[in-house]
Structure 1
């Protein structure tokens, strides 16, 4: 019943901040540029992103772009911030949003020094709940490099299902790379929440 009610709902609520137990997701702004840049260029992070960033000025232009996308309701990108220290941990987004078809795509990265602390799992849980509960999206999907075992494990832990292989899907550093496509549906999320409650 909850899913059917959401399908007919016209309005949605995008949030500027989403509070979790250990982290807070805050709408990414220009003030986050340096802190995010320091994390995105930390070892092992950029290798698994579909974007290429050469320097902080290019990263600043990227922040301006996603800020404009937020205004057009095409991309809701959040900076992941540690509650205790207020240090920037990483970034998570719902992008390529289609409210007509009630779908969006998720992307996430965490700075190297914050790996293995559970922040990725918590951030993914928070934004997934926001997408289904406040934005009334029906389908979330993600594309993950086939070599990115850390992200594959993260999304599978959250019950995203692998749908297939997209060959030569991303051009990264002059090389075409394959990705796995994963998805999660609103009805699956509802079942998962009921099971864990």
Structure 2
């Protein structure tokens, strides 16, 4: 996880068994120097109780500590040390005593330069869940990846009913007259020789 630009809160609490009194603390990070004021009390175990805000940089997880003292002619380095930031970045806080050392000028040997108490706190960024995009309405033609919707909606409007068919009745025919004639009733067939024609012919013949 990136720490670029996030703020590390460092409270310089106190020192323990410094070589000399009247010291102040410099914290070096990313070529920037952050320093406290000169301790007025405590002697070789001075109290500082000062807060420093340090912008973090990716890939740089170490502070350099330099304890200095102002002499009559020049400033003197009385102790140095390294502070690792892994725990505070992982847990969000680290209140520890860190060892210091100094180098003897005559022999060049490294000796203990006391300890320094730092209260470091780091607010880890909160990871917010990204809401899932809502599914588009069916048949809208929208695709979350910019592709057309090849599967249109299967919902169709109800079919339009066909026009009602009315069979033309004889009452609506324009040439039909509304007069009704009953059909003639059928006549029973006449016996042979008994028809009107046959009687007429027979009488006519007899008269002749």
Q: Under TM normalisation by the shorter chain, which class is it?
A: under 0.3
Q: As a proportion of its length, which structure holds more helix?
A: 1
Q: TM-score, normalised by structure 2?
A: 0.24
| Larger-gyration structure (1/2) | 2
Q: TM-score, normalised by structure 1?
A: 0.25
